[in-house]
Structure 1
């Protein structure tokens, strides 16, 4: 079983490294995914140990980061996504042994972010989870995946409109728990999911991420 937490940190004005350290010490995740992580987070392992990687969004001061108390079986890789009108997005793909996790911060365009999800799904193995800030309103419309994230709002747009945009979609695995934590220093609430493999599901032949152009 894997306890996974995802949190959009709100880049320069949101959650600090100390906030993230407190979250880790309180919740003890097996895997922590971060969006809008800045260079400040690069010192995280000096405070809590473990293993960490941050990949910066092209042309931005922030990016995607992942932390775990145990070593990753292989180095997380970066998948470039379709660019929007203003920004280029990436996805961070983490091999976590029995499952693969995609850390995402998708575009705001409601057609574009669904196209980005389809690109991500094409390179992932069968037992997988796509987790993070979707910036998505309504159903994800990703065939073969189930939306198992918390059903409550995780973000308040403009401090007025509650939205459920921090999500978890899974395929070939089970979700045993999903909840949103209390809002802290960021404008997003951290979400927690507990995932487990489905032993009797036979996975189709995995697609090679290298073949499809994933960048290490």
Structure 2
């Protein structure tokens, strides 16, 4: 199953036409989006398929998923939140069932302890199913989650303050084999889309697969 995940950067990043172009070029089986606004609801009118958006209270953006094939309506999973005052949205994950694989589409909090707690909550909700937690982790450094392997691309996916390259967009997988993972070139967002090929492992020993390494690719939009 070919999966693409992209943080769109709200209203100032990727427009619905940019997402439609990505779909036309990459032809994913599943496209996961973070910071998706209501403008993305026009996507099926451009490319067909099936689309669901999960908004966040008090924010213009949220999570969204698109697929060319029909799938059940995703479930919203509330995540742990900070008790400190401030303009921090209550975050939710979007739980999506695509055939045998359960996906958790995420945009985790910036707090390094909090986003690890959020991952633990998601893993418990997945109940040991063949699954992948994919999206913007906002995590710095290694992320360890019992039973899951980091199979995402080992490349920077974001420029912090437009200067420092960091790997924020990730994939943790359970009982899955990842045969390919890379980060596509920057488009109109400040995040690079990530691309993965995932399948259910035939045996527990076959899960995870080799760690993907960065690959040299010709420059070009979404290539």
Q: Which residue of 2 aligns with 1:177?
A: 180
Q: For the residues of structure 2 that align with 1:57 and 1:83, how far apart are their CA atoms?
A: 13
Q: For the residues of structure 1 that align with 2:156 and 2:59, how far apart are their CA atoms?
A: 27
Note if 1:26 corresponds to 2:25: yes
Q: TM-score, normalised by structure 2?
A: 0.88
Q: Which residue of 2 aligns with 1:210?
A: none
Q: Which residue of 1 aligns with 2:215?
A: none
Structure 2 regions of 5+ residues with no counterpart?
206-223
Q: For the residues of structure 2 that align with 1:183 and 1:105, how far apart are their CA atoms?
A: 19
SS at match of 1:194: strand
Q: Which residue of 1 aligns with 2:76?
A: 78
Q: Which residue of 1 aligns with 2:89?
A: 87
Larger RCO, structures 1/2 (Cα 8 Å, 6+ apart): 1
Structure 1 regions of 5+ residues with no counterpart?
203-216
Q: For the residues of structure 2 that align with 1:175 and 1:58, how far apart are their CA atoms?
A: 34
Q: Which residue of 2 aligns with 1:148?
A: 151
Q: TM-score, normalised by structure 1?
A: 0.91
After superposition, the C-alpha distances for 1:39-94 in whole angstroms (9 at most, x for unaligned) are: 1000100000000000001210000000000000x211000111234221000000
Residue range with higher mean Cα deviation, 166-175 or 120-129: 120-129
